[in-house]
Chains A and B, each alone.
Chain A
Amino acid sequence: MSNTVTRIRLAGVVIAAAASTAGLAACSSPTPSGDASAAAPAAACEPAKGNVTLQYWNTVPGMDQVVALWNKNNPNIQVEMKNISTDQYGIIGNALKAGKAPELAQVGYDQLPSLRTQDAFVDASACADAVAAKSKFVPWTWSQSSFGDTGVFAFPQDTGPMALFVRSDIFKKHNLEVPKTWDEYAADAQKLHDADPNLSITFFDPNNAEFFNGLLWQNNAKMYGYSGDKWHVTVESDQSKQVAEYWQKLIDAKLVRTDLAHGSTPMYAAYQKNQIASYIGAAWGYSMFRDNLPDQSGKWSIVPMPTWGSSAASGDWGGSTVAFMKGNTHLYESVKFNSWLNSDPEALAMENKLGGLYPAATAGLELPALSEGVPYYNNEKIFDVFAESSKNIDTSFAWGPTQKTVNLALQDALAKAAAGDGKLTDAISAAQASALKSMQDLAIPAVAGN
């Protein structure tokens, strides 16, 4: 499966490269992200004279209905949307190189720097509304989509603040309190395993770099920084090693399973058979359990992530922005639509209901649907936990300009370590090396360390 996907992506890349004569030229002169002076100058923000039609590409289920609502109320600014979930970044990449990018496109937070390196965005900061939108969003999301306030390149759409999903009945049965720190979590893992050798506290999917990055983020591991015209790569740090060593210990003691792929049928089957007592997940994961394991209704609780120290800290797993794409000549209208799309309560409620989006807008966190108890989770107000988690996410975390390559290198090494070949800390070193190498290959100036 993952092989096929990679092959298809590869083909997409080949097509992208070949489809454009300018492809090579575009690649050879990367603009390092984070450098305000190198970014394209902010385009003018004038309302258009007549009617405008905007293109908006995304991967969100049910987004067509949200767009239809906008179109009904805004005859002068019509939006045409396209679902690009077949090959999100391949399709965006093709369009960019062919000079046919849409006005707006969905881009994940971790892919923003890499696309900016390819000069994919326009700065909308000439629009006063765009700059003022800062106050509408959860701080870290704004920090990432504005690259530390160097412009307005995207509006945050949704996030995946992390939390711990707990089978409270299993914990109760074994007389365990819900763990508050990672140390308690490890101790509970041992106790559960001692009580029942078939029971694991959770699983560790080595082929999921995004999940692992979320864990690193929670421990304030800063992976990238940009200053003095170059990138500072600190993927390998005391914080990241601490996370790796922690999970290595659990794996060595066989307290967590490493044979389950996230979201796979075997994973759900293991939960169904009561073999796993908790799940470290993100806000969008609540529907996975509700819809795939209806029999376990009432047995789950959602609590804050276990912490490393005494103070609350959380990480983010997933989430996207809606970016202003290169060649956008209707910034005024784009900002209007983008702002409505990602901060209007009615739009946010629809996106949450149809697409499962957990809003990045602070107003969204107070949606009626997100302040009610959820029947599957014992009528607990689970979204309060995610809202709290959202506030505890480190705002200074940044992604690298070659994140996809680094993620692949990280996964390869994590999978090896999980199979007993090497340690998780080696995976951290591999990711560090891959980050430096991949940037070097693209002639992006980068150094190791601060």
Chain B
Amino acid sequence: MSNQTPTRESRVSRTAAMALMFLLAIYFLLPLYFLIVAATKPQGDLASTFGLTFSHFDLFKNLDTLFSRSDGIFGRWALNSVIYAVLGAAVGTLISALCGYALAKFKFRGREFLFSVILGGVLVPTTALALPLFLLFSATGIVNTYLAVFLPSIVSPFGVYLARIFTAAAVPEEILESARLDGAGEFRTFFSVALKLLTPSLVTIFLFQFVGIWNNFFLPMVMLQKESLFPITLGLYQWNGQTARAPLLQESVITGSLVSIVPVIILFILLQRFWRTGLASGSIK
């Protein structure tokens, strides 16, 4: 009797939890589902058919239109997004790791103050920095270049914060000591020892950065004027502004939105095993 009660309770609560999560999953996936459905429709069916059911399956025709529009400018935007996001996230992660490692493993005067300042940086929304950055960059003359979007993208106070926390947890002092005893310099210690231990957490930082840059809209909008430098977000926005004159652009905006989330999904699927390793290695301790 007393044995059964907890199992029944747990079954009830488990069912409730599952039901809640199921509902949440539907809630979160519904817009995605809508996007997939809408991307398969011809323009004429967008308003005239129910949004959540398929009508004509025109996905491949839509993709063809999307990539051939204006001499394939969408492909260019996609490439730009990849350049900004992959390079920006890679360099940004490295910088975050170096900073976080230094803050976690070296004792120096003003360390906590510096860390507080960086934490303060987490509180400042990047949107608020777009204006001062624009003024700085227009004074230096790099507005409307790749650098104007790339340079701000590699800075991430939140990444530094995460790197410090992760380093403190995942890199034992003893290993660093022994590396130093074996004659490794500080950089060698960092790159050959600490970086390997940190890999799972760096993947997390990389993903955060990647998604942040991939979805960034305001900064490129402020910085860029040349169409050929646009990332996907800004390009789609520009098309969306022209739908009154060219209604068929709307279908390309929708198909383009679907295409633009594919790389992010792929990246998450590819990198999630690193995440698991990170969690597992924590549990052994």
Contacts and interface: CB of A to CB of B under 8 A. Distances in A.
A355 to B, nearest CB: 6
Interface string B27-57: 0000000000000001110111000000000
A293 B242 contact: no
B246 A292 contact: no
B48 A293 contact: yes
B186 interface: no
Contacts of A29: none
Contacts of A267: 47
Contacts of B70: 62, 64
Interface in B117-158: 130-131, 134-135, 138
B221 A8 contact: yes
A294 B131 contact: no
A86 B218 CA distance: 11
Given A284-B244, A355-B246, A15 B222 contact: yes
B221 A86 contact: yes
Contact of A356 (B48, B218, B226, B245): B245
A350 interface: no
Interface stretch (B15-23, B196-204, B233-241): B233-241
A91 B222 CA distance: 9
B66 interface: no
Contacts of A355: 245-246
Contact of B242 (A59, A91, A272, A291): A59
A355 B238 CA distance: 14
Interface string B230-270: 00001001100111111111000000000000000000000
B244 A288 contact: yes
B247 A291 contact: yes
Interface in A368-411: none
Interface residues of A, number: 39
A83 B228 CA distance: 11
B172 to A, nearest CB: 47
A268 interface: yes
Interface residues of B, number: 31
B262 to A, nearest CB: 24
B48 to A, nearest CB: 4
Contacts of A87: 221
B245 A15 contact: no
B247 A288 contact: yes
Interface string A84-101: 111100010000001000
A323 B139 CA distance: 28
A98 to B, nearest CB: 8
A404 B35 CA distance: 34
B37 to A, nearest CB: 14
Contacts of A292: 43-44, 46-48, 247
Which residue, of B225, B245, B249, has the highest number of chain A Cβ atoms within 10 A? Answer: B245
A263 interface: yes
Contacts of A19: 134-135, 138
B177 interface: no
A91 B238 contact: no
B58 interface: no
15 contacts: A8-B221, A64-B71, A85-B238, A86-B234, A86-B237, A263-B243, A268-B46, A269-B48, A272-B47, A291-B247, A292-B247, A293-B48, A294-B42, A354-B246, A356-B246
Interface of A: 8, 11, 14-15, 18-19, 59-62, 64, 82-87, 91, 98, 263, 265, 267-269, 271-272, 284, 287-288, 290-295, 354-357
